[in-house]
Structure 1
Amino acid sequence: MSWLRALRETARSGLTVERRRLAPAVAARGALGLALVIGFSLALFGPAVAASSAFGAFQAAIATFQRSWRPRPTLALASGGSLAVSTFLGYLTGAHTVLFLALLLLWTFLSGLVWAAGPTAGIIASSNVAIMLVTITLPTSVATAAGHAAMIFAGGVVQAALVVLLPVRPWGAQRDALADALAAEADYARRLRHDPVAPFDPVPLMTARSAAAVTPRQARRRPAELHGPRRLAERIRPVLASLADPAVGAPAEGPQRDRVRELLAAAGEILDAAARAIRHGEPVRLPPAAVAALRTPDTGSILTDRSHRAALRLAALLGDVVETAEPRTETGSGAEPGTGMGPGTGSGTGTGSGVGTEGRAGALSAPSSEAAPEPPEPADPPGPLGLPAPRTRPTLLRLAPLVLAQMRAEVRPGSAILRHAIRVSAVTAAGYLLGLVLPFGHGYWAPMASVMVMRPDFSQTYSRSVARFGGTLVGVALASGVVQTAHPGTYLSAGLAVLCAFGMYLLMRTGYAVSQVCVAAYVVFLLGMEGSGVTQTVRDRVLLTLLGGLLAMLSYALYPAWETPRLRGRLADWLAASGRYAAAVAARYAAPAGPGSPDVREALLSARAARVAWHDALGRAVHEPVRHRGLSHAAAEDAGHALAEFGRAAMLLEAHLPERGAPPLPAAAGLAEVLREATERGAKAVRERGEPVWDDLRETVAAWDTEVTDPLLRKAARLLLDALDELSAALADA
């Protein structure tokens, strides 16, 4: 992609306004906290302290909007506390240009490294630097620096207290993540009706898994219906694929295929019903037609062999999903919610809240005694009240050394995070010095714009730079026009600032440009509240913002961290992880350990993470103005499709893993070993721009055909080899 086209595409992305579901109640709560802080500070301490404390409350509320699974009060307190420390140090050094510049370089460099811990931490750290540049210009003395910092932290405390006192849809983010995972499964089931080999995007399942990790405090309060459906959704996916795929299931056409389509449609409706119930915390309302389709007694006479067993397993798992999705306040005796159906359902696989054969879950179980039991996922031992022990998330204190370790790990040659930290610190310092030299006054607008728009990747940095300039142009022009014509007093300026903050909270998810209109106006009104910056013209503020954006864009052009040259490495990582997953599945046939084998699960999660990293990198590389350097976009797409097919073939094998104690298949051990070794060698060849070969795997699969009688296993092994051959063909055309 040329530079001109890349700039055009990123500019269009930055100025895009999306139609998103708004959260006015949450926005109003954040604005209320800001209003309380400003009003209290104005009444007791005056405009200067009020401006400082307002920035703390403003930033703490923004932190609660970030996509994080930590409790919102914790995010508000962390934001307020870190901003208080940043501002306090800025106050102490602000009167000495050299000292403050040294602090700015260090603080900005560390904020860049913090992106290693994730976008939420990176955004909070970047905002701390930007707000520090503003707050240290407020009239104060060193003696009152601690008081200002304390008021900033108090702003975070107020926002945290309001989250506790005025809860708005508690556990809403976790509910949405789990509901999205079930809805993705429902959509997958419907797509399989028309395309039996349709791909599945694992991101919703990965997001739900992240949301399921809780701190010890959260674990004591998590609603019961958020415990089990995610694991069940994970187990439903391979069953759906196995039921639909004509290579290992029902023929492509005929009565069996028609029956499979009915079951898939019913599964989609029931999964959607469970998703709606979890999202809104209400009882599950099952579609009668879908329940009837799953309970049709002639399934056994229509479907045969593995298709029939897959249909029975699907009905049992769907019953478990429905049962665990039911809101409840306490656990029934003799049941284990989150792991299976419990007594009385007839399937022997579910979660069991005491629902019998006439209950909702039992209504989904097919009337047959042939339903094969599935043990629960064994990785999580049972916790209190019979619930499975939750995945734990470290508290903030225990998280600190982990974040430091992640930051240290990024201090190495070739790290995109390290390059970002160097870029953002150099640009912020340059913008600060230029702001001092230029005759505009209040030069913090330039470095503030730079630190807020810069991200570790090209497309976000450039799109946000354009959006920041456009939003600031509109916001500053409107707010400055109001200040210079209406001359609002202290309290009216404070009220206008709160109104702008409410608009920002309300619209921040619709687009960066829209939110920046409100942010720019907020800063103008807040500083105008105590007379700071009133004399600065619209032209000065806009030119300084433009300067900051241009510095950010120029820095990425001069010191980039392109994703395109690293695509082969990302692809090799995905190939190696997929090979380990397929090998772990094959090894379970040689040593049966049941469907919930921990090593298979761990390998699957690693393969998913590698796949998502590949797709994220590919998405960023598309917008980069650099040549492909050995892997064209067409070849990348073909290679990605081949590895997706390889993963699907492994998933078909996983769908029919033998039960614990089943007769072992010795030949599977050899297949597992060859799969692992061949994919590792293939990954090395991909990294070195070579073409992987699969001769040893081809010989093993040929011998496999003669030693194994099960048609499913024979077909799945051939599918694995065909997918790797497709990968080699794609790389040969690169």
Structure 2
Amino acid sequence: MSWSAALRDTVRAGLRLDRTLSSPRRAVRGALAVALVVFPTLALAGPALATSAAMGAFISGTATFQRSFRPRVSLAVAAGIGLGVSTFFGYLAVGVPGAFPVLLAMWAFGAGLAWSIGPSGGVVASTTLSVMLVVVQLPVSVPTALGHGLLCALGGAVQGLVVTVWPIDSWRAQRDALADTYASLADYARRLRQDPTAHVDPAPFIVARQAATLTPWQARHRPPELSGLRGIAERIRPALAALADPKVGAPAEGPQRDRAREILAAAAEAMDALARAVRAGEPLRAVRSAPVLSLVPAADTDPARLTGPARRSARRLITLLGRAADTLDGQDQDTVSSPALGPGLHRPSLFRLLPVAWQAVHRQLQPRSAVFQHAVRLAGVVTVSYLAAKLLGLHHGYWAPMTAVMVMRPDFAQTYSRGVARLAGTVVGVAVSTAVVQTLHPGQWLAAALAVVCIGGAYLTLKTGYALMTACVSSYVVFLLGLQPGDPVQTALERVGLTLLGGTVALLAYALFPTWQTARLAERLAEWLAAAGRYAGTVVGVFGEPAKRGTGEVRKALLDSREARSELLQALERADAEPVRHSSHLPELSRKQLDRARAAIGLLGRSAVLLEAHLPERGAEPVPGAAAFGEELRYATAIGGAALLVGQLPDFADLRAAHEKWDAELAELPRDDGVEVARAGTRLVMQALADLDKAVRPRRPVPSGA
């Protein structure tokens, strides 16, 4: 994509407005919490401290709107503590000549590294930097600095208290994540009716696992219908794939295929009903296709009777759907605590999360890391913007670095779309709020009330568009700082100019020192190949050692493969918006070849899913040679991924030879379901690796020594 096309698309994305609004009740709740902090502080301590308290309450409230499955109370309190600490150190540093720019650069670097923890951590860390810039204006004493910091933290505490007293849509995020998983499975079942080799979208499963990871408090208060359903959904997925696949399930054509299509359609309708019930928190309604979810006709002579592995897959699918319905209705309490569903997922508390967060940050402390590059870029841009505004002698110089902080993100599309939206929203917000100030000449109390109204508007428009939300935030800051004396027209002009300065520096910095996801596509592809091969090898190994079933190795390998695929898809989405051509260490690896390689590795993962659906029981007879071939498969795909990573072509010749020898040995054994499934599944695995070899091989021979 050219620069002109990329800029055009990002401008459109930044200025696009949706009709979606945040929950009005949650917006009112957040604004009410701010009012409970601002007005008492204004009456008791004056406008300076009221500004600190308002910023703390506003940003802490914003943290409760982030996409996170932690309790909203803990998010508000954690944000308040971070704001208090940043404000305290900011006030201390501003009184020491030359210390504040140094602190600013260090804090910006840390805020950039916070993206390694997750998007919520990165956003909240960036806002602490913004608050430091807004409220820290004049040198004060240490006790006064402590007071400002405590008031910022108090804002977070009040937000947490209001969330506790006035809970709204409790467990909504968890319900939506679980419902999306069942809705995705329903869509998958319908697609399997027409395309037996269709792939399932892994994103809902990843989100559902994150939603099911609970703190001790959440584990005690979780609605009973949300316990156990995710584990059942994880087991439904391979059952659907195994039933539909013509190699290990129903035949490609004939009465059994028609019967499999009927069961898939009925299963889709049943899972849609489960999704609706989970999302609404209502009892499960019976579906019209429920009678189809059986294995009749059972007569041995009936041509529509499913047999062999297909019948086992259908039986497993029907049993799992029944368990899901019983769990939702609370009729099958044993299902909730069944060991087959896996142990509970425990989310550490915020304090116990600190070592985990440090490990995540430490892994990013390397020059090639996109997060590390973002942190360096953010620190440089913020410091340069601050010093440039100071050199220009502008009184409200903090608007330039604040704009840079709010605009910059680790990827190109978000940075440029937010930059355009920030500029447009700031101009509109400052113009409207300045006109209101000039017309009404509000006093302190009216200005504070208008600021609270703007906060409610910002909360309400969080999902509508960044430009509109920025207009509300800009108006809020204007009214908030209007509590202090100054010329509103001159101040408005300075803020618009400084927004231009900060946004321009941020966008130029990204253009000059970019972090292109396009250049990392081969790396992401290599990681997915290694993870998918590890998953497939682990599943094949269980056929050779059935006693390993249930040890958690298969589940861990599946999650690793799922995460690697998700990271590649995210990188591809971001790369599509970048104004650079696809490049890779591999010779002439075009985007078309990359797509073919993705399809090949997807087939590898899907083959492992089919094999997982037919894993032998612990006491079953082992398949000879399966454990050794599984280990060989893990090793070969790991080496193949490493080859892709360093710009070489993967070589699976030894693995093909091992498979041919093992397949010949299995052909001499008596016919057995386990042996037949292992043979069919590993043939699909080898076909996937052959497709990958063709996809990445250059169109022209690679010169020797290249």
Query: Partners in 1 of 2:564 and 2:582 — Cα distance?
Result: 20
- Percent sequence identity over aligned pairs: 50
Contact 1:527 1:534 in 2 (8 A): no
**Correspondence 1:662 to 2:662:** no
* Deviation sequence 1:596-647 (CA, Å, 0-9, x none): 4411111111111111111111222222222322332222211111111111
> For residues 242-290 of structure 1, what are the alpha-carbon distances to aligned partners after superposition, in whole Å with 9 as ceiling and x for unaligned?
1111222222232212211111111111112112222222211121x22
1:168 and 1:493 map into 2 onto residues whose CA distance is: 29
> Where in structure 2 are the equivalents of 1:511-522 lying within 5 Å?
511-522=465-476
CA displacement at 1:594 relative to structure 2: 7.3
When structure 1 is superposed on structure 2, of 260-269 and 55-64 the one drifting more is 260-269
Q: Distance in 2 between matches of 1:125 and 1:659?
A: 49
Q: Is the 8 A contact 2:87 2:135 kept in 1?
A: yes
1:545 alignment partner AA: T
Residue aligned with 2:321, SS = helix
Q: Which amino acid aligns with 2:682?
A: A
TM-score using structure 2 length: 0.93
**More deviation in 35-44 or 183-192?**
35-44
Q: Does 1:683 align with 2:641?
A: yes
2:534 is matched with 580
Partner amino acid for 2:233? A
**1: distance between equivalents of 2:142 and 2:624?**
76
Q: Distance in 1 between matches of 2:311 and 2:415?
A: 53
Tell me the equivalent position of 1:226.
Answer: 226
Q: Which residue of 1 aligns with 2:174?
A: 174
Q: 1:338 is matched by which residue type in structure 2?
A: V
Distance in 1 of aligned mates of 2:430 and 2:656: 66
How far apart are 1:197 and its partner, in Å? 1.1
Question: What's the CA shift string for 1:456-477, capped at 9, x where partnerless?
Answer: 2222111111111111111111
CA distance in 2 between counterparts of 1:661 and 1:592 reads: 7
Q: Secondary structure at the match of 1:397?
A: coil
Task: Judge conservation of contact 1:442–1:533 (CA < 8 Å) in 2.
Answer: no
Please give the alpha-carbon distance, in whole angstroms, between the structure 2 residues aligned to 1:438 and 1:601: 59
Aligned partners of 1:138, 1:322: CA distance in 2, in Å? 63
Whole-Å separation in 1 of the counterparts to 2:543 and 2:269: 33
CA distance in 2, matches of 1:201, 1:19: 26
Question: Is 1:479 the equivalent of 2:433?
Answer: yes
When the two structures are aligned, how many residues end up with a matched partner?
Answer: 684
Query: Residues 158-169 of structure 1: matches in 2 within 5 Å?
Result: 158-169=158-169
- Return the offset for 1:700: 2.8
The answer to whether structure 1 residue 240 and structure 2 residue 205 are counterparts is no
Q: Is 2:323 aligned against 1:315?
A: no
**Aligned residue for 2:85?**
85
Q: 1:106 to 1:42 in 2, by over 3 A?
A: same
The answer on whether the counterparts of 1:570 and 1:614 sit within 8 Å (CA) in structure 2 is yes
Once the two structures are superposed, residues 463-517 of structure 1 have per-residue CA deviations (whole angstroms, 9 ceiling, x without a partner) of 1111111111111111111112221222221121111111111111222112111
The CA distance in 1 between the partners of 2:146 and 2:643, in whole Å, is: 59
The DSSP-based 3-state class of the residue aligned with 1:510 is: coil
CA distance in 1 between partners of 2:308 and 2:412 (Å): 53
1:408 deviates by: 2.5
**8 Å contact kept, 2:183–2:271:** yes
Report the secondary structure of 1:396's partner residue: coil
Q: Which residue of 2 aligns with 1:265?
A: 265
**Residue 672 of structure 2 corresponds to residue 714 of structure 1:** no
For residues 542-691 of structure 1, the aligned pairs below 5 Å read 542-593=496-547, 596-630=550-584, 631-691=589-649
CA distance in 1, matches of 2:416, 2:97: 30
Paired AA for residue 687 in structure 2? D
**Are residues 533 and 156 of structure 1, via their aligned partners in 2, closer, same or farther at CA, if it must alter by over 3 Å?**
farther
After superposing the two structures, state which structure 1 stretch, 564-573 or 698-707, moved more: 698-707
- Decide whether aligned partners of structure 1 residues 108 and 457 sit closer, same or farther in structure 2, where only a CA change above 3 A counts: same
Q: Does 1:336 align with 2:290?
A: no
Query: RMSD value over aligned CA atoms?
Result: 1.9
**What is the distance in 2 between the residues matched to 1:587 and 1:404?**
35
User: Which range moved further: 523-532 or 428-437?
Assistant: 523-532
Paired residues for 1:275-314 under 5 Å = 275-287=275-287, 289-295=288-294, 297-298=296-297, 301=302, 302-314=305-317
Q: Which residue of 1 aligns with 2:688?
A: 723
CA distance, structure 1, for counterparts of residue 140 and residue 482 of structure 2: 16
The corresponding residue for 1:123 is: 123
| Contact 2:382 2:404 (C-alpha < 8 Å) held by counterparts | yes
Identify if the C-alpha distance between structure 1 residues 268 and 98 changes in structure 2 by more than 3 Å, giving closer, same or farther. same
Which has the bigger relative contact order, CA under 8 A and spacing at least 6?
Answer: 2
CA contact (8 A) 1:238 1:652 kept: yes
Partner Cα distance (2:386, 2:298) in 1: 73
- Equivalent positions of 1:123-522 (< 5 A) are 123-137=123-137, 142-287=142-287, 289-295=288-294, 297-298=296-297, 301=302, 302-326=305-329, 335-339=333-337, 376-377=340-341, 379-380=342-343, 390-522=344-476
Shift of 1:97: 4.3
Change (3 A) 1:88 1:668: same
Structure 2 CA distance for aligned equivalents of residues 70 and 583 of structure 1: 35
Query: Using the alignment, how far apart are the partners of 1:17 and 1:181 within structure 2?
Result: 28
Counterpart-to-counterpart distance in 2, 1:419 and 1:689: 23
Secondary structure in structure 1 of the residue aligned to 2:526: helix
- Unaligned stretches of 5+ in structure 1? 341-374, 381-389
Change (3 A) 1:586 1:296: closer
Structure 1 CA distance, aligned partners of 2:102 and 2:650? Answer: 51
For structure 2, list consecutive stretches of 5 or more residues without a partner in the other structure.
700-706
| Aligned equivalent of 1:360 | none
- Cα drift, residue 134 of structure 1: 0.7
Task: State how far apart, in whole Å, the 2-side matches of 1:186 and 1:523 are.
Answer: 47
CA distance in 2, matches of 1:299, 1:10: 59
Counterparts of 1:504 and 1:642 in 2: how far apart (Å)? 45
Give, in whole Å, the separation in 2 of the partners of 1:525 and 1:27: 19
- d(CA) in 2 for partners of 1:633, 1:17: 31
2: distance between equivalents of 1:139 and 1:504?
Answer: 31
| Equivalent position amino acid for 1:731 in 2 | V
Give the AA of the match of 1:579.
Answer: G
1:56-84 deviations in whole A, cap 9, x for unaligned? 11001000011111111111011111101
Match of 1:18 in 2: 18
Could you tell me how far apart the structure 2 residues matched to 1:160 and 1:238 are? 42
Report the TM-score when normalising by structure 1.
0.90
Q: CA deviation at 1:313?
A: 0.8
Q: 1:129 to 1:675 in 2, by over 3 A?
A: same
Supply the distance in 1 between the matched residues of 2:405 and 2:503 (Cα, whole angstroms). 9
* 2:661 aligned residue: 703
User: What displacement does 1:443 show?
Assistant: 1.0
Q: Would the aligned equivalents of 1:440 and 1:536 in 2 still touch at CA under 8 Å?
A: no
1:161 shift after superposition = 0.4
Contact between 1:138 and 1:532, CA under 8 Å: does it hold in 2? Answer: no
Q: Partner of 2:703 in structure 1? A: none
The answer to whether the 8 A contact 2:22-2:462 is kept is no
Distance in 1, Cα, partners of 2:486 & 2:320: 64
Match for 1:644: what amino acid?
Answer: G
Letter in 1 for 2:361: M
More divergent stretch after superposition (406-415 vs 241-250): 406-415
Instruction: Single out whichever of 274-283 and 27-36 deviates more from structure 2.
Output: 274-283
Q: Secondary structure at the match of 1:167?
A: coil
CA distance in 1, matches of 2:73, 2:609: 40
